[in-house]
Chains A and B, each alone.
Chain A
Amino acid sequence: MTGAKSASSKPQPAGKAAAMCTQAANSHEAAGTSLHTGNGKPVPPGMHEREILRLECVSKLYGSGESGVAAIRDMDFTIHNGELTSVLGPSGSGKSTLLHLMGLLDKPTTGKVYIAGTDTTSISDADQARLRGKMIGFVFQAFNLISSFTALENVELPLMIYDVPKEERRKKATAILERLQMGHRLNHLPSQLSGGERQRVAIARALINDPEIILADEPTGNLDSKTGEEVLKIIEDLHQEGRTIILVTHDESLVKVTEKVVRIRDGRLVKSEVLV
């Protein structure tokens, strides 16, 4: 796993995050580079040098004033092209909120979220939806397949939204499903598939638009450990192919496949570390 080492930052003491964030907010460049060049190693050409996702001093508050609760506070980190990152935190740590912010399903109260260099906080809802469709592939714990659609149609769905001609999208969806060993289940309904198979379909759906980032939310949460391992293997394979993947989980054991981990607790970034 070459180049993985370069992708992280110094461990940050949680208590200082707010203060650092305020400084960083004044200079985007400073925040980005400081994280990026944390361990001082050079970045190999063609890999990891491209910034895909950057959270800059992001806070998400629910309610207002004194009674307001911060689900996410002063979050700062950068994800680069080809990284497999895990976002690890116990339940209630704010990782769902973080997932929604990274996935453009939600907007931060303060701070900025950049996707491939685009500031997504100032764009319209419709543009956000478009960006989400093109840039981000979601994989959910509950698979979220459409029960009346076959495996193939579920995978085609994102292309359907963009009016891709039927033959083209069918061809593409078939190819992806075949690659995930689902070629024999193309015309099965979700109810006729096992949990692992459903998650494969969901992964195929996340891949169909060739997104910049795959956001996987507890992808093994609804699976037994053996099937979970298989799904994890798929995620590893995708990473080997150069995909940028963010794995959001509370399960410490998933961290082993990732090369970088962002640990959060109580809405704050506790530690961002490189594992390999």
Chain B
Amino acid sequence: MNTADMLNYSIKSMRSRSLRSWLTIVGVVVGITAMVLLVGLVQGLKNDVESQLKGFGTNTIVIIPMDVSKVASYGSTQMVPSSGKLTELDYQRVKKAGSIDAITKILSGRFNMQFKNESITVSASGIEPENYGRIIGSSLEIDTGRFLVPSDHHALVLGYSIADSGFTKKPEVGSDIYVSGEKFKVVGILKKAGSANSLDSAVLMPFDDAKSLLGDSIGPNEISAIRILVKEGENVNETADQIESIMLSSHRKNEDNKDFSLVTAGYISSQIDQTTSLLSLFLGAIAGISLVVGAIGISNTMFMTVLERRQEIGLLKAIGMEEGEIERLFIAEAGVIGIAGGTLGLLLGALLIGVANLLGFPAQILPQIAIGAVVFSAIVGMAAGFIPSRQAARLDAIEALRYE
């Protein structure tokens, strides 16, 4: 019997027991819907984070005074013990590494900012204007005014959201803002970089200003971060390795007790991948369990079908159908249940993903997941129908025909 006839036969048989068939299909639908939806949510989350990462720049390396690989085991950045400090010395040493296009030291802190009669607390960074501008590159766009220049003193560049909604009255280029009591002039306001981009909430000032504002609250040569732009065409990872060894010898540390991290776009996305794939695995397991229940439902239905259709099986044998073919016929029927459940589950899952998007969750459905869901459910169906089908094929024709 050819495949088309087999499928036709299966569908007709299922239709004649439609309630049970549908209930069995629903069992599969639940599992596939859960799978499609949960994987879609994780995928959407991942895409969202990755699009935020784009602003980071693929050629950028940032050195921060903390081993971020230990963050996961301590729960939060604050709890990681023995956070080290970055110093001017580190900066000078790293500067000598090859393949570096531009490098800047960054000194960040939380400051009180007062505009008119209103004051807020913000995190601001002292930077080296020329180098910083070169590293951040095209994503740094000025809306009004200009960016910082090396000769600036007590000057500020405000991110879009700080300027737009930080204060009740919007500061403009030329406005005076008091930072920790010292008078600064706003020289530029950045264009909106995007909802997720940290540049929107940035407050930038010359490095020396930040250093004098922080005064004794930090070590004499302490800096917060070093930001590096790797030369175009150079391997970022190799450069990172080189810088890492410079840093290790500078800090007299080794891999296990290091007190700093090199953050690259690749590193961040690998961290995100790790987190999301763990999440995928967990959610996938939940979906998998419901799919197993669906598969048991298929097995159950097929056992019942074989029992009910003994006479029919006897007839098929009488008219010359071979055992293998009878087995395939019933496996096809189980497969059809699986495919029906998979397809409906996929549609329902896609619908729920649409709803999630409307509600603001960035869920997504990938074509390979869609195809995979249907193929997988077909395989699950056929596997679940394997033993019942074998039983059907092995039925004694005489017994089967006698059964009434």
- Do A and B belong to a common assembly? yes
Interface residue ranges, A against B (CB under 8 Å): 96, 100, 103, 105-106, 125-126, 129-134, 136, 138, 140, 142, 144, 146-149, 157-158, 160-163, 205, 209
Closest approach, in angstroms, between the C-beta of B403 and any C-beta of chain A? Answer: 10
Query: Are A129 and B12 also in contact (CB < 8 A) when A100-B398, A144-B315 are?
Result: no
Q: Chain B contacts of A96 at CB under 8 A? A: 402
The verdict on B322 contacting chain A, using a C-beta distance below 8 Å, is yes
Query: Are A147 and B16 also in contact (CB < 8 A) when A105-B397, A140-B401, A142-B311 are?
Result: yes
- Selected contact of B323 from candidates A105, A125, A162, CB within 8 Å: A125
Most buried by A among B320, B322, B402: B320
Once bound together, how far apart are the Cα atoms of A125 and B311, in whole Å? 19
Once bound together, how far apart are the Cα atoms of A148 and B317, in whole Å? 18
Quick check: B311 and A161 within 8 Å, CB to CB? no
Q: Chain B contacts of A130 at CB under 8 A? A: 320, 322
Interface residues of B, count at CB 8 A: 27
Q: Chain B contacts of A136 at CB under 8 A? A: 318
The verdict on B319 contacting chain A, using a C-beta distance below 8 Å, is yes
The verdict on B216 contacting chain A, using a C-beta distance below 8 Å, is no
Closest approach, in angstroms, between the C-beta of A269 and any C-beta of chain B? Answer: 21
Closest approach, in angstroms, between the C-beta of B326 and any C-beta of chain A? Answer: 10
The verdict on B13 contacting chain A, using a C-beta distance below 8 Å, is yes
Q: Which of B350-404 contact A (CB under 8 A)?
A: 397-398, 401-402, 404
Closest approach, in angstroms, between the C-beta of B319 and any C-beta of chain A? Answer: 5
Closest approach, in angstroms, between the C-beta of A15 and any C-beta of chain B? Answer: 29
Residue of A nearest to B318 (CB): A138
Quick check: B320 and A149 within 8 Å, CB to CB? no
Q: Chain A contacts of B316 at CB under 8 A? A: 161
Contact with A along B293-332 (1 / 0, CB 8 A): 0000000000000000001101111111111110000000
Once bound together, how far apart are the Cα atoms of A161 and B319, in whole Å? 9
Quick check: A106 and B311 within 8 Å, CB to CB? no
Once bound together, how far apart are the Cα atoms of A132 and B319, in whole Å? 7
Q: Chain B contacts of A161 at CB under 8 A? A: 1, 316, 319-321, 325
The verdict on B255 contacting chain A, using a C-beta distance below 8 Å, is no
Quick check: A163 and B12 within 8 Å, CB to CB? no
Most buried by B among A126, A129, A130, A138: A129
Q: Chain B contacts of A144 at CB under 8 A? A: 311-312, 314-315, 318, 401
Quick check: A148 and B13 within 8 Å, CB to CB? yes
Once bound together, how far apart are the Cα atoms of A273 and B308, in whole Å? 41
Once bound together, how far apart are the Cα atoms of A134 and B320, in whole Å? 7
The verdict on B153 contacting chain A, using a C-beta distance below 8 Å, is no
Quick check: A146 and B315 within 8 Å, CB to CB? yes
Once bound together, how far apart are the Cα atoms of A15 and B317, in whole Å? 36
- Selected contact of B319 from candidates A131, A138, A149, A163, CB within 8 Å: A138
Once bound together, how far apart are the Cα atoms of A77 and B325, in whole Å? 34
